[in-house]
Each structure stands twice: as C-alpha cells, then as structure tokens.
Amino acid sequence: MVFEFNIEYKTAYGEEVVLYLINDNKLLRCEMWTSDGRVWKYQLSINRVPKVLTYRYEVECGKTHSRCEWSLMPHTVDITAKRSGTYILYDRWQDIPEDSYLYSSAFTDCINNQRLDNVKTSDFTKTIRLKVRAPQLCDGERLAIVGSGKALKSWDATRAIEMTEQNYNEWIVDLDETAFPDHRMEFKFVVLNADKKEFPLWETGENRIVDSPQIKDNTVVVYELDQSFLDRWNRKLSGTLVPVFSLRSKKSFGVGDFGDLKRMIDWISMVGQRVLQILPINDTTTTHTWTDSYPYSCISIFAIHPQYVDLNVLPALKDKDHMKYYKKLQGELNFLRQVDYEQVNSAKLRYLHELFRQEGSRILRSTSFNAFFKETEQWLVPYAQYCVLRDENKTADFSKWTGHTMWNEEDRKRLSAPGTKDYIKVAFWYFVQYILDFQMKDAHRYARSKGVILKGDIPIGVNRYSCDVWMEPNYFNLNGQAGAPPDAFSANGQNWGFPTYNWEVMLKDGCKWWIHRFQNMAKFFDAYRIDHILGFFRIWEIPVNAVQGLLGQFSPARGMTVDEIRGYGFNFQERRFTEPFITDWVLDRVFRYRAEEVREKYLEKIDDERYRMLPEYDTQRKVEKAFEGTVNQEDKDLLDGLYSLISDVLFIRDYKDYNKFHPRICAQFNFIYESLYDNDKAAFNKLYDDYFYHRNNQFWEDQAMKKLPKLVQATRMLVCAEDLGMVPDCVPAVMNHLKILSLEIQSMPKEPYVRFSHLDRNPYRSVCMISSHDMPTLRQWWDEDLSRAQDYYNSELNHQGSAPHPLPGWLAQDIISRHLKSPSMLCVLSIQDWLAMDESIRLPDENSERINVPADSNHYWRYRMHQNIEDLITDHDFSTAVSELISQAGR
C-alpha cells in the first residue's frame, strides 16, 4: 500500500520538514522534499499495513529539532477502506491549540464521558475522507456533516450524515467521490443531540469548500480541515481542595482513606462541583514518627502511603478478638480531633501484617496481582527492599546500610522469584502496594462515573533518603538542598531539604524519570498540580551546610565575574563581601547583653575590625548541632542570632565556578549592606535588580523549554501549576505556550503595586483559589491583619463602615461568590473556606483549620475535617447553599 503525505509549511532558509512514523513508541525518520519551500511531500510504500498509521511532523535545521507539533495528538489514519491501494494525505500543521484542555482526560473522560467509535469500513471505489477536530462538543453530542447536493443531504440538517469519532475530539466521515461529478464539495458541520430532538447547532464561519483532484480507483484522499468552532462560551468548573488524610467519615480509622475519598466524591457530585483536588498521596515513611506526616517529602514517586488503605473493604481478620480490638481502636482514633499519625500508621501496619499472614499467599498467586506486579516491578521491587532495609537498620539513611548503600540491580531476580528467602522478606510490601493501587484506581473510576475530576499533586522534590535517590543517585545533586527564597511565608526563605536534580543527566535520557512519574500519576488522576513550577526554570539551591534559605542561589543561573560586578560601579572586595560581616557594633545590636558571651565562645578576631566564626561553629549546620535539643527561648534567640551572623554576606560564590558570584538574596537587610557607602549601595542595588529580574530570563526560559514540553505532553491529564513566589518574567510566556493553567490567589497578586488582584482579570486558563494548604484559611487571613481586612472590605468588596470580626458567614459567602464568578476555568476552594460561610457547622476555633505553616520546617500535618462526610451529605441547608452559589456563577 502506498501513502502520499502532503503538508503545507513555509520554511525559513536551512529548515526542512521531517515526517516521523510512530510505531510502539519508536520513531522512523523520513526526510520530505519540496519544490517551492511551502508544500512538503513524502511517498511511503508499506507491505505489512497496520490498522492505524500514526505519525507527526517536525521542522529541523541542520538535523536539530527547531519546532515540533503537538505530540499528545499525533496524526492518525485508520486503514478501513475496503478498496484502497493508495492513501493521499493532505495534513495541517498542529500546534498546541488554545483549547488543548478540552483534549485532556479531565474533559473527555470525566466531564463529557466520551467513548471513541469503531471506524466504519467504507466500500467506495474512490473515497474522500474528511477529518476535523471539534473539541467543544458536550456529553451526548455528535458531529455530522450537511451540504449542497444529494450526497450531502441538500442542506437538510435533520438528515445530516453522522460522523465517527476516531480519536478524542477528532471526527471523520468517508464520502463517495463519484457522487461529486464536479469534484467540489460545499458543506458545514453541525452538532446533533443524542436524542436528535433539538434543532442541530451549526458551526460558525463561512461554508467549507473542498475541491478534490481527479483520482484513480482504489484511492482514498484524506483532508485534515480547520477546527470546527461553535458559538459557545467557555466552560467553568468548581471544586474543593482537601487532603485525603483530612477526610473524616464514620468508617475512618483516625485518618482519611480511599473509602472516604469515594464518599467525598459523592458530596462533590451532589452539590454540582466537578473537581476534587488532593495533596500528594505518596509514601513518606522514613522514621515511623509524626515527622513523616509531611506529604511533599516522598520516599517513592510511585508508591502510595499505607495510611490511605481502606480497611473496611478488606477481608475481616479471622481472629475475632483481634478484630474486636481493631474495631475499638478505630473508634478511639476516629474520635480524635486531629490525626495521630504515629498511632494510626502503627495500627494500620499491624492490621495489614496480620491480614498478610492470613490472605497473603492466596492474593500473591492471583491473576490480578501478577498483572499488577508485571506493570510495576521496575519500581516496586527496589521499593520493597528499601522498606525492609529501612526497618531492619532503623534508619532511612542508606549510607549506613552495610552492603546496601545503593540499589543493586542484581538483587532484582531473587527479590522477584516467589518462594525464595529474599522474596518472602519483601512480599508484604508488594501486598500492601497492590491493595493501595487497586483502591486508588477504584476511587478514580468512581470519580469518572460521577463526572468528577480527581486532581493530584506532583511535589517538586523527593526525600534526601528516599528510595528514588537510593535507586538512581545519578539523577540527584546531594550536595545541595532545594528550597525557596524569602517571601511572605518565610523571611529567611524555605529549606525543604530535598536534593536538587541533576538535569544534565536527566535530559540525556529524555527525562525518562519524570515521564514515568507523570504517566504513573495518570493511572489515578485526570488533572494535576505541578508543585513549584518555577523549579523547572531554576531552583533555589541551598548548600548542605546551611539551615536557612538565605544562603541559597538560583540554579542554574549565570553567575557574575569580578569584572562584571565592578562594571556596575561597585567597589568589589572578594574577602570582605563573601565572608560573614561580624564587628563589635553588629554583635552589640544582635545579641545585646550576650554579645561578650558570643565573642568569647563562638568567634575569633581576624583584624582590628572584624571577627570570624570558630571552625567548630562556622556553618549553620554546625551551630544547629551544637544547640540540638534547645528548648529555652533565650538560647533559641541566640541560635537565630548566630545563624544571622553566618548569613551576613553580600555575595555568594557560585557552587560550580569558584570565580563567579551571586548577590545574596535580601542582602539590603544585612549589616554588611548597611556598612556600605551610599554610592556602593546604589551600584549594588542596580546589579541586584538586574541579576534577579533581568539577567537570567532568557536563560531560564531555555532551561524550562528543554524539560516542560516533554513532561506536560507525556499524558492527557489537565496540567495546572503553582506559579507563586519570585516569578521570573519568562514564566507566564512559557506557561501560555504550553497551555498550563496558572494559579490565581487574590491576596497574592502577580501585578506589581497592587494589594489585591482583580478577580475579573484572572485569565481563563487558570485556577482561582482563596487560600491553599500553605496559607491561612479565609477566616484566619481575615483576622490576621485588621488593617488589610479593612482595606479589602472597603475597596474590593465595596462595603461601607468597619469590617466585622471575626468573619461572619454572610461575608464569607459574599467572598466565595465573587471568586466563583471570576473568569477562571477552575475555582477550587479549600473545604475550610467552603465551611466558613455556615457559622452553625464551621469550627469554632479558626486556628484549628490550618494545614501547614511553611516557615516551620517541622510542622505536623494533622488537620482533619471536624464533620463526618455522611453528615455533610445530609446537611441539606449547607449543601443547597453551595449548589446555589455554583449555579449562580455559571459553573
């Protein structure tokens, strides 16, 4: 069979269009030719013809990819015509469309419940196939064609020819070319309802005309046409943010589980919401203590946390006394106001161990388990061994695991062979992950059946002692720590402790680690939030010997040479400005009556003016260790003072190039800056502004475009991003190019010089929220700063007089209503903010609603809903109020 490819693309000098045939994720490169630099052609002969031919086009310049098509929706041709020896294809270049979100599984599989058709076989001697994308169709609607002449039903839309949906939002119809003697077709596309009772909806624009060439018998000519547009408004959806661990039902075991997730989906669906957003559900267990409650510090990007297992749907323990014990313990833990992480996880793991002894051998022999193991063994086997070694060695620090400081691929065979001693040791963890995988997939299927989009969360980092680092250390920089520069959440910056990524290595293999991570997420979710998307442009990297984030630098970033620094008119002195600035007047101001104690115990004199830290205290980590276990507030103040001495520098050396420097973030608040002459302050301010806001913009954009296109097009999930903080100018352009939804929070405006962003200016491609898990809830925010609340009350809400405190329910409802009416595609509010509008059911203590405090690196993540989901479902007044707000906002 012969395929003739044709595509119109006007190339620049040196460019060429290349055809890539796709078969089992393998690419066959075919060089096309052109006679005019505008229409590119290629002829292909195939002996063994596939059922579907899949391909895409790329533009190359000197064998380098300069432009690629939208890889998520490649060109496809179903080989279904009975009489076909030749396919002539007239294609159109496919960039990522503005409405690419309509191709996401969030819309196709959840909102529209689309089911693809089997392509019909045509029996024409000469076939014209029309192919068009029509993503605006809703659930139950179909595309049809009608036009001039008998073959196209003479413009009678009631008799329009139904088309076939061969791919998501892509419709085709085969027509008999001999029915058009003048070789001209004039037509339009129309939308039919499932029951055809309503009058068809016509596409916008002029009539379409296709002039087909004279073709031989047994030929199929395929025309890709411009997208069909309908006169419809953009769809807007509402939803709720709540961590799974925060869910509470009458059947919970002291923590939310996947059974509770399904119950929450019921409430979401009942009130007319379409999105349920949760926090990461990955396993975070390193110590088996409450410090593992941090959901963004995963030990595996694939494994699910055992705490989320729903014990209610598992077989009961045959030991009735044990079953009675667990039932009693369940009641006690579920009665608690907050999650008791240690008790809950200890109890659930004990139960699972007992159940494994009872049911494990049967389950591990099952067909479904074998299918699960085959699908996941690449990560599951190392993870299971990691868990065993962690518990045997009583530490997750694998550098202390004698003989196992790194994953050994040679162990895989023994750990995967049933009946061997090694397999028996790790099989429990196979069993646990099998159950969790089944239950989470079941919740995902349930959400789709209810028309609800499950939105997950992909953390920017992994735990330093995670299975991922143990298994593939070459992907990580262990001499750095990921974090964030100072912001409204933390004056000293945030140190997350995660290792940073070795992007040079990751990019060499096409970011496989990330692609597998995203594809695994797609098994459970139809939308996701990229945590700290700025990290794909540059990450805030902090040296391992630092505690606070102030000593970090953006990585990668273009450091400054001495000559460049002096070129700004700044009198740069290397030693003076790169070592801590410690003088007597600084010590007196920081430590006051304890200044002499600090001089004697922690410092040594280096000249008439300055001191330096003694070697045993010259890094923040050394100081931290010296003060380990400190509870006295005065000593804590002393500790903070010593931290500030060490971070009091004007420049930081580049981690990779000793001869380059970066201005220290927020250096203007340092004593070293205070000591400068006014002309040096002015010169430093100029270079500081240029470095942080201009110098690296194009460089960072290039870095992001090497990574993000591969990742966001790895799945059909709807891509959302957390793009708050110190945002480079290049970020919005990249997100817009890749059609990633931004995060819009009114109290954290992205526009300069405004206190609150204007909700009516939110871009459609965005997620609107009042607060996130890292922020005070609406009620907390309202009472946190009275002058700010007063300003918001008068200027944004247009109310007169004094702002009421605490926040009354009617005012919370007003604020929620305004957010729902914003232009944003998604408006997702935390469960605490939804409950804020009903004073009869919300928590009396607003401070008990907080999920996380970013400034506290040791925060205990334990918030739980105070209401059972069952009670929420039966609370007619509250649910009706939520439904009415959503309906009034057109969501």
CB 45 within 8 A of CB 93: no
Average pLDDT over residues 570-588: 94
Please report the pLDDT score of residue 632 as a whole number. 85
Residue 629 clears pLDDT 90, i.e. is over it = no
Q: Please give the model's pTM, rounded to 2 decimal places.
A: 0.93
pLDDT band at 584 (very low <50, low <70, confident <90, very high): very high
* Closest residue by Cα to residue 820 from 238, 103, 392: 238
Residue 858 clears pLDDT 90, i.e. is over it = no
Tokens 């892509």 sit at which residue? 170
Report the chain's mean pLDDT, rounded to a whole number. 94
- Structural tokens at position 699: 């460089």
Please report the pLDDT score of residue 759 as a whole number. 96
Please report the pLDDT score of residue 137 as a whole number. 93
Sequence letter at residue 631: V
CB 398 within 8 A of CB 406: yes
- Structural tokens at position 829: 């509010």
Residue 197 clears pLDDT 70, i.e. is over it = no
HEC letters along 169-197: CEEEEEEEHHHCCCCEEEEEEEEECCCCC
- Structural tokens at position 823: 């232009």
Tokens 């999650």 sit at which residue? 339
DSSP per-residue letters across 431-447: HHHHHHHHHHHHHHHHH
Coil/strand/helix, residue 593: helix
What beta strand segments (E) does 430-580 contain? Answer: 453-458, 476-477, 480-484, 494-495, 500-501, 527-530, 539-543, 553-555
Rounded CA gap, 601 and 561, in Å?
36
* Closest residue by Cα to residue 437 from 310, 576, 277: 310
pLDDT in tens, 26-77: 889 999 999 998 999 999 998 888 889 999 999 998 877 788 999 999 999 9
CB 859 within 8 A of CB 852: yes
Average pLDDT over residues 797-814: 96
Rounded CA gap, 385 and 281, in Å?
20
CB 166 within 8 A of CB 78: yes
Share above pLDDT 90 across residues of the chain, in percent, rounded to a whole number = 88
Q: How many CB atoms lie within 10 A of CB 888?
A: 11
* Closest residue by Cα to residue 271 from 810, 812, 887, 890: 887
Q: Which residues of 23-57 are buried (b: 16+ CB within 10 A; e: fewer)?
A: eeeeeeeeebebeeeebbebebeeeeeeeebebbb
Residue 753 clears pLDDT 90, i.e. is over it = no
Rounded CA gap, 70 and 68, in Å?
7
CB 39 within 8 A of CB 123: no
Please report the pLDDT score of residue 62 as a whole number. 82
Please report the pLDDT score of residue 198 as a whole number. 65
Rounded CA gap, 560 and 823, in Å?
42
* Closest residue by Cα to residue 828 from 241, 104, 106: 241
Residue 447 clears pLDDT 80, i.e. is over it = yes
Residue 25 clears pLDDT 80, i.e. is over it = no
Residue 196 clears pLDDT 70, i.e. is over it = no
Please report the pLDDT score of residue 630 as a whole number. 76
CB 190 within 8 A of CB 144: yes
Share above pLDDT 70 across residues of the chain, in percent, rounded to a whole number = 99
CB 151 within 8 A of CB 127: no
Please report the pLDDT score of residue 120 as a whole number. 80
